[in-house]
Amino acid sequence: MDYMKKILDSFFFIFFSSVIYIYNITNE
């Protein structure tokens, strides 16, 4: 089950990064 945690961690990291990226764009 360790690989599942790695997949989830990377998914949340990508999701969080895109949220911040979109937030910065809309905040111009």
Please state the domain count of the chain. Answer: 1
> What SS3 state is found at 27?
coil
pLDDT for 23 equals 96
What pTM was computed for the model?
A: 0.58
pLDDT at 1: 74
In whole angstroms, what is the distance from residue 28 CA to residue 23 CA? 9
pLDDT tens digits, 1-28: 789 999 999 999 999 999 999 999 998 8
* Domain membership of residue 20 as a residue range: 1-28
Closest C-alpha among 25, 22, 4 to residue 14:
22
The predicted pLDDT at position 19 comes to 98
